Amino acid sequence: MFIISNGKMLIKDQFSTRNLLIDEGKIIAIEENLIETGSKLVDRVDASGHLVLPGGVDVHTHFDLPMFGTVSSDDHYTGTRAAAFGGTTTVIDFVPMSPPDDIKGEAEVFHRSVTTWQEKARKAAIDYAFHMNLTRYDAEIEAQIPDLLEMGITSLKVFTAYNNRLRLDDGSIFKALRLAGQHGLLVMAHCEDGDVIDLLTMEALQAGHITPEWHARTRPAWGAVAASLKMITLAAQADAPLYLVHMNTAGEVDMLEYARKNKVKVMGETCPQYLFFTEDVLRRADGAKWVCSPPMRQRQDNERLWQGLEKEGLQVVATDHCPFFFDGTREINYEGQPVKIPGKELGAINFSLIPNGLPGVGDRLPILWTFGVGTGRLTARQFVDLNCTNPARIFGLYPQKGALQVGSDADIVLWNPEKKVDYGVAVAKHRTDYNLYEGWELTGFPEKVYLRGELIVDGDSWLGKAGQGRFLKRLPGAEII
């Protein structure tokens, strides 16, 4: 049992001094005055000068993900460790569907897939849950979808791109939406136009266009807008909830707002990279660092996404964390050990072979605080809602996660709003060799991070350990906000 005293909590959109009593991993009391515990002696943590925030909830990560002959460089330990240093204490990772078994075919495909991912995730240092990628669809798979509920998985991801690999046809997506709606599941959608991407990529390579900027040029923004609208219309016809991942264009925000005004049960997330960077960064000598799918867009898209956050047309900020080394031929030192993993150099002479993904799970909260709250574009309440509370509510983790309430897990961040940090790869703890925000000066940073009442980050010190995270089973029928 211990008390966090003299910190400032958000109370009705204002920061007020409160004291939190923590016992057995839970918040058991929140009081304005010092908490009396009778004659029982308790430890005290003086949070004077700090804000007391709920741990962040990042609902879009890809740890240890195979791609293009390599694997994302953060596994479930290194990635969750990095998340914790950035103030995030819960993540939801995506489970790829296992290939059909030679003997069983599609029988028990979800059980096989989840078992594989559970083995990978046993080393997680913070709490975690899973989404299931839905990349094949037939009667046998359809019959197994309700089995996911027993595994505590209540969200499915579909793709309108990656033809012949991940994409489902519209009819299968509609069936999945309808079935999900009947069982209280949430369908998530990656929205791009796979047919146009394939055609433009082939034409670009035939013309000798091999540099990173062509990754963006072959994935037009209008394709994302059209795919988002198509997914919205399918969800409306299926009367099922929908969640649009990594929204990156102005037109997608317009489609989302239009749909919500017309009572479609749709929600959307964006990611920090789409708020700050444009296609121009891909023309740099190190442009491969910014190659991700969907790609960076234009300045007007950045601005429209910010407006979506400010006006609460967007519901979540996540990261789509999927890092790769920029130069995987060189070793880096991670926790005293040399590490070398093939990375973006694999696409040095062909942009379509650059592993698609960026580091970000540890960057999200510090970046959004400085350039959102610090500039007045977001209120502190919006910051907490977008990064903690809303994701927990939408994905069935609230109020266990994403909240500071009596009975909530004691996932707590002591945030120093005045701390200045020269940010970059030396500060971020991702297991990769670069950071998108190198040299950016931040004001406001987490100093102590607690997971279920255990101090796991203390300044620059790592006190957590592999395997400390717990798998979170989620219930169906979560909120649509």
Give the residues of the chain that fall short of pLDDT 70. Answer: 35-41, 103
Nearest to 166 by CA among 177, 151, 156: 156
pLDDT computed for residue 467 by the predictor: 98
- Whole-number pLDDT of residue 42: 75
List residues bridging with 316 in a β-sheet: 269
- Written as one string, the DSSP assignment of 310-364 is HTT-S-EE---B----SSTTS-EEETTEEE----GGGGTT-GGGS---B--TTTH
Domain segments of the chain as ranges: 54-394
Please give the pLDDT value at position 131: 98
What gap in Å lies between CA 268 and CA 314, rounded to an integer?
Answer: 5
User: How high is the pLDDT of residue 33?
Assistant: 82
Strand, helix or coil for residue 245: coil
Closest CA to 361 of 326, 421, 318, 400: 318
Which of 78, 83, 120, 124 lies closest to 466 in space, CA to CA?
A: 124
Q: Is 41 helix (H, G, I), strand (E, B) or coil?
A: coil
**Cα–Cα distance, 10 to 460 (Å, whole number):** 26
The three-class DSSP label of residue 414 is strand
pLDDT of residue 285: 96
Question: DSSP for 352-409?
Answer: GGS---B--TTTHHHHHIIIIITTTSS-HHHHHIIIIIHHHHHTT-TTTSS---TTSB
- Per-residue pLDDT reduced to its tens digit, 35-66: 666 545 578 999 999 999 999 999 999 999 99
What single-letter amino acid sits at 250?
A
CB 57 within 8 A of CB 126: no
Compute the distance between CA of residue 215 and CA of residue 209 in angstroms, rounded to an integer: 10
Matching residue, tokens 């998530």: 188
- Determine the pLDDT at residue 41: 57
The pLDDT score that the predictor gives to residue 15 is: 94
pLDDT given for residue 202 in this prediction:
98
pLDDT of residue 280: 98
pTM of the model: 0.97
- C-alpha span between 215 and 217 (Å, rounded): 6
SS3 191: coil
Q: So what CATH class is 54-394?
A: alpha beta
CA distances from residue 315 to 99, 380, 453, 475 in whole angstroms, order as listed: 33, 15, 28, 20
Does residue 271 contact residue 216 with C-beta atoms inside 8 Å? no
pLDDT at 37: 60
- Taking only the tens place, the pLDDT of each residue in 252-261 is 999 999 999 9
The whole-number pLDDT of residue 36 equals 62
Can the peptide bond before residue 294 be classed as cis, meaning omega within 30 degrees of 0? yes
Closest CA to 172 of 192, 149, 154, 189: 189
